[in-house]
Structure 1
């Protein structure tokens, strides 16, 4: 609205209010005296009309009645109208009372009701007139909301209160038969999700919003398939993990986004009492190694909600540490942070960190994790994943940290890769140190993390954007997947249950075929697999296996306090053998010796890479 139009509208409102303030007391008097106005009352009204109008306009101005955007009027504006009218009418009564005018006092409550109704109706008419003019200027998209629950109601209310939303809610759909033909937030529930295509055609729906944040992946997949049959734009409210992850929650409409792969892989959320599982962090100095990585940075975000004394963000990449620090300072300005550029493999530097800050809780997320790259450089994987972990763990023991949590992987179970073998070796190192330490050392194993650096999804996204082909190593390859917030909550839960020496596992649900993931991603881009975008199979890479496992055949599990979290039964450790093998690894860069030593440490480790290296050396 232009400045000139704004002034004109304010003048219109002042004139309307002047008429209401002048006419309604007259109507009140006529109602009081059955339509016949006595001469005395008529004289008082004539003499005091202009002063009372001026007084009323002044009160209205004081209450901001001419500085409100009535197009967006809400309940708080109604309260302002009631307050302004009440004060104006009370002031007029006192003005006439002290002036000695002896008119019937019953006129005043009648006048109050009439003025209140007149001012309220004038604002309503003004709002309707402005909105009609706005509708002429703006076209609206017909919207159907999938999910008639709390989330759907929140979306509906926000749309109703947000005139800039440019959508018109036609109705809800919900698979709960009891809800059909009822109303939610004033909007009809038109049917179930199977009715979406018909409703889209009947009501000319242009946009669908999936508002079921608690729904599992199977349900979201089914709804997505139904929505895909229409030509509508589809938006989704994120799952519960994604929403609770952000402390500064965005309003409902802003939180909506396109459907992503993680929505199709959602599982039933793990319901954790965040306060109970993070009591060991509150008021403590917390060290996070690898803090610039996917898991490390998410740990920093969630721990910032707890109220740690100080969070030490340690990593060897200055850019990633700088970025997470800048993000955290905006989101959690009251939390204290330290940024530390250091390499966990440099024990002298790490000892400086422990000596200076004395961290009480340590989350060790720093690691090399790229399977094919580590196959080519096993000595580097050992240096970082085994001896980097050993350095930090020994310092945690020396400086009496209370809890040490190692981030491990399902690739450590019956490993076929150097990366998996070194992570299993790191677990053994922790098991050995824990035997004679006051520090509680625990390990957390989980599968692939969606959205983490080096994961397959960003690669698929780039390949689809380029028009294909999408490369899948094997049509039958499966993996366990979880979201980053899920993974971090498991890590925090592990710390809360730590007694020392445990390996915690997460109920990962059913494994997912990588080929199916590729097809889902292609469809989410509105394309058809092997028609618009081809999928080709490139063969398994060095160190990969078709299926991942969370346990060895010897381990088995025991239950914990939470039904979705388990504890592996760890076999007794031969300390002397472990120390001898670590000594060999610490004194060699020979890849064959490195791999053979890892095989001695981990009897279930099978390496095709060893055969390749030996064949290459024979050829030379």
Structure 2
């Protein structure tokens, strides 16, 4: 017996005790039922009824605990007992009394109706009492312990079903994710809920009461428990909450209220994307799906921040084949693993190579014959390209030309260039080379549309690297590729962007380095930018530069302050904000289009098309050839001088002035 007790677990021991308790209380319940039926006097109970009770009560008690076991009532964790357990008890009670009434009445003898009514009432009462009293005692003990501790007062925003679940998890679940916290008040914009209570906590008003509630209740944390907030609504709500010194947590949008599985553990810290968030662009992607489904798609730079997101979004449209092409194998490997896991039936090809290698890029096009090419491969870091202008030309300009040439030569239907707002009136080498990339795209599109493909030379860098006879010439009128560029601003969280830098500096205790207190930038999320790229690729007719309305510009100083506050720290007190001066080639603001360009509306009011600037395509090709020779000769000064001659809007300046 002792060995048996040593082998069983604690919860199993409790389950055995509970089973014995149920057996005894079922027997007691129906005895009490007879006793009540006959005026609470044992001597008044008829012998035939008492005899019948003795005959059937033990088998019925055993049957009852069997039903309880089958319904899992001996495996629940009763400290977390809820409506689920109550519902199971109701089912068990109905099943047992129904069987008892049918069997006893049909096969043995009739019993008084009150016997069944009182008996099942006592049975249900005893079963519920033992199971839920444990939780009640724990709740009382928890409340007493919390009262002796320093409670962290919480303001809950949202009195819907999600808010109710968060409230109960924080206030009534012992050992929850916020054990020493207590929700003191609730905010909701629905005036019909004002002045009413949820589990004893008052709904005190709308968002205009947030600041007063924080002061009146001594609030230290704010929980935003509304899963359906739009980005702009969330941003406005966060802006109000940030006027307090409270720590803010939110329920991610993925937890829709209908999910029914929401707890305080689901709450996350506010991110900078939430602070800068705006309503997502509404894009009808049916044309994107029609274009990509069943097609071979190539993404150059497919391992980068933009390229990898392109691969993610393209994969869901069921392409015939998706080709990831990148020079950096680690990034390419990461996105390959991710896509293979999420889309096991996707025909995925991952290739390592550089767009600067003409033989390599042509072999890819010749082997796989992609229908669509998204060209995201580029050097994008402004200060580094100021110091290495030759590399910027080799990779950005020459690499784009070689890829565009291969696309034309091997019958690619669409070629989509990823451009940047830094290409507009550039003040740095990187932006100027991206403007050259746009000019390359416009040149190729013009030559294809006017059937002058034979006038596009195959740019050769080193004879030992590329044999001109092997590469071959394109015959006029053989091309049909449509070329388009997509221009957008800074992308939140992309490689080399300011947001990861600020996060790292804050984690290290500061200072957060700011180039200029007045510097502004446009921001968008990576998925949003990629959606625009796919839309442009689907709607292009050739030669366009698509421009996204990126909303209001953001001061980088405000961005830094917001990120410090979101980390629970105070700007200029806990974390220093240090101004270090503009970097070479950096300007205070970015523009979305040049003054010479006009904007044309598209079907979506957030997306525009820039009218192409006219230039001499043949003269430009000659300049590009000279740029390539200078770059491969590593003539940095000569390269920069030639860039200025090629890009007439290039305003090279010292430190962005």
| TM-score (normalised: structure 1) | 0.85
1:408 is displaced (CA, Å) by 0.9
- Cα 1:12–1:290 change in 2 (3 A) is same
Q: Tell which deviates more after alignment, 62-71 or 334-343.
A: 334-343
| Aligned residue among 354, 376, 391 for 1:343 | 354
Q: Does 1:577 align with 2:619?
A: yes
1:148 is displaced (CA, Å) by 4.4
Aligned to 1:545: 587
Q: Tell which deviates more after alignment, 135-144 or 292-301.
A: 135-144
Could you tell me how far apart the structure 1 residues matched to 2:281 and 2:587 are?
29
- Cα 1:447–1:45 change in 2 (3 A) is same
| Aligned residue among 23, 33, 46 for 1:18 | 23
Q: Does 1:413 align with 2:455?
A: no
Could you tell me how far apart the structure 1 residues matched to 2:45 and 2:571 are?
84
Could you tell me how far apart the structure 1 residues matched to 2:164 and 2:492 are?
30
1:53 is displaced (CA, Å) by 0.6
Could you tell me how far apart the structure 1 residues matched to 2:118 and 2:384 are?
85
Aligned to 1:188: 202
Aligned to 1:445: 487
Q: Would the aligned equivalents of 2:520 and 2:554 in 1 still touch at CA under 8 Å?
A: yes
Secondary structure of the residue aligned to 1:587 is helix
- Cα 1:565–1:170 change in 2 (3 A) is same
Aligned to 2:497: 455
1:550 is displaced (CA, Å) by 0.4
| Aligned residue among 403, 408, 417 for 2:414 | 403
Secondary structure of the residue aligned to 1:490 is helix
- Cα 1:535–1:481 change in 2 (3 A) is same
Q: Where in structure 2 are the equivalents of 1:102-121 lying within 5 Å? A: 102-103=110-111, 112=120, 115-116=123-124, 118-121=126-129
| Aligned residue among 538, 546, 551 for 1:504 | 546
1:444 is displaced (CA, Å) by 1.4
Q: Where in structure 2 are the equivalents of 1:21-170 lying within 5 Å? A: 21-26=26-31, 37-96=45-104, 99-103=107-111, 112=120, 115-116=123-124, 118-132=126-140, 141-148=152-159, 152=163, 155-156=166-167, 164-165=176-177, 166=179, 167-170=181-184
1:4 is displaced (CA, Å) by 5.3
CA deviation vs aligned residue, 1:90-143 (integer Å, no higher than 9, x gap): 443454357444446786577556544553444333432344456667777442
CA deviation vs aligned residue, 1:420-447 (integer Å, no higher than 9, x gap): 1111111122223234253443221111
Could you tell me how far apart the structure 1 residues matched to 2:345 and 2:200 are?
41
Q: Would the aligned equivalents of 2:207 and 2:237 in 1 still touch at CA under 8 Å?
A: no
Q: Would the aligned equivalents of 1:375 and 1:609 in 2 still touch at CA under 8 Å?
A: no
Could you tell me how far apart the structure 2 residues matched to 1:407 and 1:254 are?
39
Q: Which consecutive residues of structure 1, in runs of 5 or more, have no partner in the other structure? A: 611-620
Q: Where in structure 2 are the equivalents of 1:186-335 lying within 5 Å? A: 188-200=202-214, 202-211=216-225, 213-216=229-232, 219-220=236-237, 222-228=239-245, 232-238=246-252, 253-273=264-284, 277-333=288-344, 335=346
Q: Would the aligned equivalents of 2:512 and 2:560 in 1 still touch at CA under 8 Å?
A: yes
Q: Tell which deviates more after alignment, 143-152 or 372-381.
A: 143-152
Q: Does 1:602 align with 2:647?
A: yes
Aligned length: 600
Q: Which consecutive residues of structure 2, in runs of 5 or more, have no partner in the other structure? A: 1-5, 449-478
Q: Would the aligned equivalents of 2:225 and 2:251 in 1 still touch at CA under 8 Å?
A: yes
Could you tell me how far apart the structure 2 residues matched to 1:401 and 1:549 are?
31
Aligned to 1:616: none
| Aligned residue among 158, 166, 171 for 2:185 | 171
- Cα 1:153–1:53 change in 2 (3 A) is closer
- Cα 1:533–1:109 change in 2 (3 A) is closer
Q: Which has the larger radius of gyration?
A: 2
1:49 is displaced (CA, Å) by 0.7
Q: Tell which deviates more after alignment, 337-346 or 182-191.
A: 182-191
| Aligned residue among 597, 610, 631 for 1:568 | 610
1:368 is displaced (CA, Å) by 0.2
- Cα 1:283–1:75 change in 2 (3 A) is farther
- Cα 1:608–1:261 change in 2 (3 A) is same
Q: Would the aligned equivalents of 2:224 and 2:250 in 1 still touch at CA under 8 Å?
A: yes
Secondary structure of the residue aligned to 1:408 is strand
CA deviation vs aligned residue, 1:28-66 (integer Å, no higher than 9, x gap): 567778877543232211111111111111121122210
Could you tell me how far apart the structure 1 residues matched to 2:548 and 2:342 are?
29
| TM-score (normalised: structure 2) | 0.80
Q: Would the aligned equivalents of 1:278 and 1:492 in 2 still touch at CA under 8 Å?
A: no
Aligned to 2:389: 378
